[in-house]
Amino acid sequence: MLRDRAAIDIFLQPGEYYVGDADCRIRTLLGSCVSVTLWHPAMRIGAMSHFLLAERGGGGAFALDGRYGEEAMWLMLRELVRADVDPMQCEAKIFGGGDMFPRTMRSGALNVGRKNGEKARRLLRGFGFRIVSESLFGIGHRQIIFDVASGDVWARQVRLAGAFPQEIKLE
């Protein structure tokens, strides 16, 4: 999609999320972390998270923290509503959950990346979102670019140990 002006590039660090309009492109780098994107096609407003862990351990009162899957989701939903977006009209996509240490896993153990990806799927389905695409798991990290103007997300997975990178565009 052509723009009248240059896109604003936003780079998410682990534990961050961002909600922006069609002038934004949101980027991040994921290992075992997961990003969820929510995009409203008519309003061309989108949100993206970068969470580190599926959930927080322990209990008690606390402020929401974008480092944890469910809390990152609530933070994005709150900001979408503040922007007058009905989150249930958004399309959802999921990325990441890579295995960064494939040779160190104990037999039968579930790695952090897989836990994160499965949590993201459960959250989105539990909220009733339509998951239109995903790029999850595998070995190595991913570079992610979310173009809020079009809703397109590019994921480039870079495998460990000198394997060739794989780049895909998810519609």
Does any domain span residue 3?
no
Question: What backbone phi and psi angles, to 5 degrees, belong to 155?
Answer: -125, 125
The angle subtended at Cα 50 by Cα 48 and Cα 53, nearest 5°, is 140
Does any domain span residue 1?
no
Does any domain span residue 98?
yes
What does the alpha-carbon distance between residue 66 and residue 76 come to, in Å, rounded to a whole number? 9
Residue 142 belongs to domain with CATH number? 3.30.1330.200
* Per-residue pLDDT tens listing for the chain (171 residues): 445 567 899 999 999 999 999 999 999 999 999 999 999 999 999 999 999 999 998 766 679 999 999 999 999 999 999 999 999 999 999 999 998 877 665 554 568 999 999 999 999 999 999 999 999 998 889 999 999 999 999 999 887 654 444 445 555
Does any domain span residue 159?
yes
The secondary element (H helix, E strand) that includes residue 112 is helix 112-127
Does any domain span residue 124?
yes
What does the alpha-carbon distance between residue 132 and residue 111 come to, in Å, rounded to a whole number? 25
Q: Whole-model pTM? A: 0.86
Nearest to 151 by CA among 35, 18, 49, 21: 21
What pLDDT does residue 160 have?
Answer: 64
What pLDDT does residue 163 have?
Answer: 45
Total of domains in the chain: 1
Does any domain span residue 2?
no
> Whole domain around residue 19: which residue ranges?
8-54+62-170
What pLDDT does residue 102 have?
Answer: 72
Does any domain span residue 88?
yes
What pLDDT does residue 69 have?
Answer: 96
What pLDDT does residue 111 have?
Answer: 85
